[in-house]
Structure 1
Amino acid sequence: MRGNWRNYIGPGPLVAAAFIGPGTVTVCTLAGVNFGFDLLWALALSMVATVVLQEMAARIGLVTQKGLTEVIGETLTKGIVRYFSLGLILLAIVLGNAAYEAGNISGGAMGIEIFIKAPVLTIGQASINMINLSIGLIALVLLMTGNYKLIEKYLIALVILMSITFLVTAVMVRPSMLAIFQGFVPGVDSGNILTIVALIGTTVVPYNLFLHSSLVSKKWKSGKDLKFVRVDTIVAVVLGGLVSMAIVITGASGNADAINNAVDLALGLEPLLGAAAKYFIGFGLFAAGITSAITAPLAGAFVVAGCFGWSTDIKNWTMRVSILAILGLGLVFSSFGIKPVQLITFAQLANGILLPLLSAYILWVINKASVMGKYRNSLGFNVLGLAIWVITLVLGIRSIMRVLEGI
């Protein structure tokens, strides 16, 4: 039956699972600790930007029945422009996802380590945390099943539980509603610019744009299904945005001064939540870590396959090798002894800087009549998309200048 509610459930939960990762938990907590409720407006902006960009990426996948990378490769002029662009996308997404995967694995391990202390295996200069290894193996086993429906069901369950955890925590700290409303008044200065870019980067995740377009083409087969795509996208992004706001509210309401691990997060909430604090933070971080640890390699593999014209069937050996490579790099990066919070925060900042480039690609493709036909952007969508691109570009440039000043 065409009106069946199942038609409205697509890759949205995977998109939410991807951007509600340890990076979201960490960056949003730091935003709350350092700036209170003042940056809630940045998350509201991020939600709007995410809905617009993800809808365009999904629409490209629906109409072309191909992933975003494949479409870009086919529509770019042959020659140096094509190879430079695809090479840049490949380098940025694959290496970025490997670094992001390290943050996902380390962040998930932070959640578990609040309850147990895992043994560390030392090999030369590298120290391998056995919890990190376990999370990586769990993600790998699930991905190697090659069963999208199984992955989707698993992620939906975890995302729902994780969302409830953070939303309940935000309610339990009893924040001031007036202060929350005041947090939606925009304000940018030299002190908060890096955090604003990181908040945008943790919500509008570049690799999600590629993941979404590829998965939409596998779920729906006709432009007539656009209404299902849009509902699935909006519900997932709004839910994710509310969870992010709940984390900011929780961080602002706690008493933590310095955040380096999950114990610090939990200790800052103990005066408000008591012993329950560690359970909320521990489970939330673990769920965020393992869900994102599954989606990051999958998205990176779609990009690799699209760049080289390989099959995007998850059971194909090229997809599996790509998944294994990104997961393996993530495990290696997470073994260098870098503090997880530093690693995650850096990955989010990098995402915020990369976003203008990737969104420009999408705006270009979505307006090609030869590709999109009657489903190309309307004037209103283009104005909104261009405004979002300009905002992310300005914030990215300012963040780069800020980093260079500190060198």
Structure 2
Amino acid sequence: MTFTALRSGGTKLYAKMGPSWLAGAIAAGPATMASLLTAGTSFGFTLLWVVVLSAVLGTLAQYLAMQLGLRTEAGLIAVVERHLGNGWAWLLVADAVLAAGLAQLVIMKGVADISATITGIDARIWGVTWALVLAFGLAGGGYRVAELGAKLLVSAVVLAFVTSLFVVPIDAGAAIAGLIPTMPTGLSSALVVAGILGGAVHITLITMHSYTMRARGWTREDTNIATTDVVASMFVAFGVYSLAIFLVAASVLNGAISPDGLTHVSASQALGPLVGANAKWLFLLGLWGAAVSTLGGNTVVPPFLLADKLGWGTTVEDTRYRALLVSFALVSAVGPFVGGSFFPLLVLVLAFGLVGTPFAIAVVLALLNDREAVGDTASRWMNLGGVALIAITMVTAGSFVRGHLSTPTAPLSAFVLAFAIVLGVATLAVLTMAARTALSGTSQPSTTQ
């Protein structure tokens, strides 16, 4: 086969893919970058095994969500309402919208701050500008605009950071040692690990997948391309993105900058003298591209879920969905007014989102084992993978929650604890229902909680 034929085939395959790339755009965003940079800056190569694990688990989570979407050929919330009950559907909507909403504000803060650094124009002006761009762009083109932007920006961001990797001296021995699972002591390491895993295995990524595939018109017959889509975007593109950023941070920033002083400006300034001005600008542009791509993908998630729950259409042809899309985009203009440095805020937002993720995975797994919902139920390895995902995310999120037990009366800590308790109980309840269904060999009867 000639090079031209290979290139043509690759181009056609790239054009066919899409839904998982929108999830990948959110995963490969500034929040994940902040977690990776913090990990490399604080602990060197020690947490490299977590970076590799995050790509594997992220791929598995999206694969399970993809399987459920193809087997039901319906939106996730509608399926939950039909087979688990109205109360469970509303709880999943609230969980996802809260996680996505908090992330939206902080991500917009990041986009505005980076835009201000590059141009010198006030971040608050950029916040309003980007909110308007989101509103008009997504309301006009809907999902296809978000997908195209995600594919182009994620590809460019991966290329930017891989290019940076070539000019950074990597200690191969230390990197190999980092593949051996080791957990640094202290609550800060638990937060960083939760942030890294939360970037790949996040409730927004899981809940959005059925809607993006519906927008593409995919059905069970598209299982092969859908699987390729997941592997290419999450395991390959997201995995390479994560490795490149982490290795750069562990090689260059560790010891060169204090973790407490890590910002997009300080990181780029630290890179400049060590690996050249070009790497500095590659970093800033890569961070900016990641933030923009994530902002677009994250914007469509709450409108998808709310519209589905309310029985509305989930495309811009339905004016009610379009209004939700525009409203969520415009509200994000508040982001630049949020106080604090956006790197620590991003890590915190990802860790918070991870607290709500086991419930979403449990719901997906329960439905995959409900014959009435999917017909052919999940295979044994899919169930084992799903249970492993729930266990790992619960343990990791639990480590983050324990960090708030020392100050349970503080508003943020009290909210995190309450959120974790409610969703922890809900996760166990859904898993119990799924186990009973599997053991009895019958479908879980629909309820009206």
State the TM-score, normalized to the length of structure 2.
0.82
Is residue 377 of structure 2 the alignment partner of residue 382 of structure 1?
no
Task: Assess if the C-alpha contact under 8 Å between 2:34 and 2:344 holds in 1.
Answer: no
Local SS of the residue matching 1:315: coil
RMSD of the alignment, in Å? 2.1
Per chain length, whose mean CA-contact separation is higher, i.e. which structure has more relative contact order (CA < 8 Å, sep 6+)?
Answer: 1
1:34 correspondence with 2:42: yes
Query: In 1, distance between residues paired with 2:184 and 2:171?
Result: 24
Matched, 1:231 2:225: no
Aligned pairs, number: 392
Distance 1:237 1:6, change over 3 A: closer
1:245 aligns with 2:243: yes
d(CA) in 2 for partners of 1:384, 1:95: 26
In structure 2, the residue matched to 1:111 is: 114
**Could you tell me which residue of structure 1 aligns to residue 293 of structure 2?**
291
Aligned with 1:60: secondary structure?
A: helix
For residue 134 of structure 1, report the CA deviation from its aligned partner. 1.9
| CA distance in structure 2 between the aligned counterparts of 1:159 and 1:364, rounded to whole angstroms | 32
Deviations 1:381-405 (A, max 9, x none): 1112101211111111122112223
What's the counterpart of residue 399 of structure 2? Answer: 398
Matched to 2:242, the amino acid is: S
Equivalence map 1:97-108=2 (5 Å):
97-108=100-111
Q: Distance in 1 between matches of 2:400 and 2:197?
A: 12
Deviations 1:225-264 (A, max 9, x none): 2111111101100211220121111111222224443111
Segments of 5+ residues of structure 1 without an aligned counterpart are 121-128
Distance 2:261 2:117 in 1: 14
The offset of 1:322, in angstroms, is 1.8
Query: For residues 335 and 54 of structure 2, what CA distance do their matches in structure 1 show?
Result: 28
Distance 2:133 2:257 in 1: 32
The 10-residue stretch of structure 1 (396-405 or 350-359) with the greater mean CA deviation from structure 2:
396-405
* Match in the other structure for 1:17: 25
1:115 is paired with a residue whose SS is: helix
Q: 1:7 to 1:327 in 2, by over 3 A?
A: closer
Partner SS for 2:74:
coil
**Offset at 1:7?**
7.4
Return the alpha-carbon distance in structure 2 between the equivalents of residues 387 and 20 of structure 1.
23
Q: What residue number does 2:431 align with? A: none
* Structure 1 counterpart of 2:58, one-letter code: T
Q: Distance in 1 between matches of 2:107 and 2:130?
A: 9
248-257 or 290-299: bigger deviation = 248-257
Distance in 2 (CA, whole Å) between partners of 1:223 and 1:187 is 41
Distance in 1 separating the partners of 2:135 and 2:330: 10
CA contact (8 A) 2:108 2:336 kept: yes
Which amino acid counterpart does residue 293 of structure 2 have in structure 1? T
**What residue is the counterpart of 1:68 in the other structure?**
76
The verdict on how the C-alpha distance between 1:188 and 1:406 changes in structure 2, with shifts beyond 3 A counting, is farther
- Tell me how far 1:87 sits from its aligned partner: 2.6
Alignment partners' CA distance in 2, 1:221 and 1:397: 36
| Inter-CA distance 100–343: structure 2 relative to 1 (3 Å threshold) | same
* 1:197-276 matched pairs, under 5 angstroms: 197-238=194-235, 239-252=237-250, 253-254=252-253, 255-257=256-258, 258-276=260-278
**Contact 2:110/2:291 (CA < 8 Å) preserved in 1?**
yes
CA deviation after TM superposition for structure 1 residue 355, in Å: 1.1
**TM-score normalised by the chain length of structure 1:** 0.90
CA distance in 2, matches of 1:5, 1:116: 37
CA distance in 2, matches of 1:152, 1:384: 28
Kindly report which structure 2 residues correspond to 1:355-374, keeping only aligned pairs within 5 A, or say none: 355-374=357-376
Paired residue secondary structure (1:168): helix
> Which residue number in structure 1 is paired with residue 416 of structure 2?
none
Separation of aligned partners in 2, 1:72 and 1:318: 22
The one-letter code matched in structure 2 to 1:16 is G
Between the aligned partners of 1:114 and 1:184, the Cα distance in structure 2 is 35
Aligned 8 A contact 2:272 2:279 in 1: yes
Of 120, 141, 155, the residue aligned with 2:150 is 155
Moved more, 52-61 or 150-159: 150-159
